[in-house]
Amino acid sequence: MIVVLKQKTPDEKRAQLIEWLEGQGLKVHISEGEYQTVLGLVGNTSHVDMDLIASLGIVDSVKRVTDPFKCCNRKFHPDDTIVEVGDVRIGHGHFVMIAGPCSVETEEQIVAVAKAVKKSGAQMLRGGAFKPRTSPYDFQGLKAEGIELLKIARAETGLPIVTEVMGVRDLPLFEDVDVVQIGARNMQNFDLLREVGRLKKPVLLKRGLANTLKELLMSAEYIMAGGNEQVILCERGIRTFDDYTRNTLDLAAVPMLRELTHLPIIVDPSHATGIARLVPPMAMSAAACGSDGLIIEVHNDPMHALCDGAQSLTPEEYDVLADKVRRIREVAVQ
């Protein structure tokens, strides 16, 4: 249920109403917009007397929200959420460029890529330390050592670091990581979602390989219901019948999610296509359709990458692309 308050409602009247609602066992999310304050009521609202609330002098309107996702619902929170990572802002017109290798391999590699992508304008460094590989015989990531190497690259460049957590057990290693990524394969690992919901740091939540947008939003809901509202959604391609590309990039997800949720939405054209030469056109399309950022795999030696070399751009290719993305945003985004 949402309760829209009248403009200039006195603070004490608002507090009284919230206390009364909380007294009925509801959680109240307050969204203070430029023009209106919206109270989002989460919990069992079946016994709440809508007419009584609507009759209060400070209340403009009351509506039932039938969507199963509440905290991430735009109806609860009409204004875009802006996620902040140090000085970097994501959402509501703030576009983020995240780049780096699929996996952290060596100090030389991660530092070299970090320096290169920073020069091209990237604001955050990605790099997997824990890798979800289809085959148990493939490189599984450097794990704790990989996170240490990311920290070295951060110290050298100032770029905040984004890296994937695969299990609850590993979370203590992520204390000093700037953005914790939940990968596609873990989008519905509800224990993990609940745990990252207790963190006080942003979470990058990737869409599962075969998940609907509603399921993606319900996963965001798990994180937010735990108290962590700093969630960034990521469209990274889904499994369809075509196999020329690794996945099918669902770009319509961006404007659709924009309507449904206030959370920032970024796009990963690397995992979506699996083919480096397809990454620039899809990245440009993602910038044009109104996404809030791009996460792109870049490797200094893609031919010898331990993971996802085929979809990795060289730093030179990334530099050219980053410039094109900037130019597209100038014309595509008002």
Nearest distance from C-beta of residue 73 to ligand PEP, angstroms = 24
Q: What residue has token string 């597209």?
A: 328
Nearest distance from C-beta of residue 4 to Mn ion, angstroms = 43
Q: Is residue 147 part of the contact set for ligand PEP (CB under 6 A)?
A: no
The Cα–Cα gap between 72 and 260 comes to: 8
∠ CA 265-283-183, nearest 5°, is 50
Whether the CB-CB separation of 42 and 224 falls below 8 Å is answered with: no
Q: Is residue 271 part of the contact set for ligand PEP (CB under 6 A)?
A: yes
Nearest distance from C-beta of residue 7 to Mn ion, angstroms = 48
Nearest distance from C-beta of residue 132 to ligand PEP, angstroms = 6
Q: Output b/e per residue, 304-314; b: 16+ Cβ within 10 A.
A: ebbbbbebbbb
Name the binder of 206 from Mn ion, ligand PEP, none, CB < 5-8 A by kind: ligand PEP
Binding residue for ligand PEP, selected from 41, 72, 98, 102, defined by CB under 6 A: 102
Q: Which stretches does DSSP call E strand in the chain?
A: 2-5, 27-32, 37-42, 59-63, 83-85, 88-90, 96-100, 124-126, 161-164, 179-182, 203-206, 231-235, 265-267, 293-297
The pair of three-digit structure tokens given for residue 132, joined into one six-digit string: 């979800």
Whether the CB-CB separation of 59 and 3 falls below 8 Å is answered with: yes
Q: Is 319 left (phi over 0), alpha (psi -120 to 50) or beta?
A: alpha
Nearest distance from C-beta of residue 109 to ligand PEP, angstroms = 15
Applying CB under 6 A, which part among 50-58, 78-86, 138-146, 183-191 lies near ligand PEP?
A: 183-191
Q: Is residue 184 part of the contact set for ligand PEP (CB under 6 A)?
A: yes
Running DSSP on this structure, what letter comes out for residue 43?
S
Binding residue for ligand PEP, selected from 40, 100, 146, 183, defined by CB under 6 A: 183
- The site that binds ligand PEP (CB under 6 A) totals a number of residues, namely 11
Indicate the residue among 230 and 247 with the shorter CB distance to ligand PEP: 247
Instruction: Give the closest residue to 282 by CA, choosing from 241, 254, 316.
Output: 254
Contact residues toward Mn ion (CB under 5 A) are: 102, 308
SS3 label, residue 95: coil
Nearest distance from C-beta of residue 105 to ligand PEP, angstroms = 13
Site string for ligand PEP, 7-46 (x = CB under 6 A): ----------------------------------------
Nearest distance from C-beta of residue 182 to ligand PEP, angstroms = 8
Name the binder of 262 from Mn ion, ligand PEP, none, CB < 5-8 A by kind: none
Applying CB under 6 A, which part among 40-48, 168-176, 177-185, 211-219 lies near ligand PEP?
A: 177-185
The Cα–Cα gap between 45 and 265 comes to: 30
Give the binding site for ligand PEP (CB under 6 A). 102, 128, 132, 164, 183-185, 206, 236, 268, 271
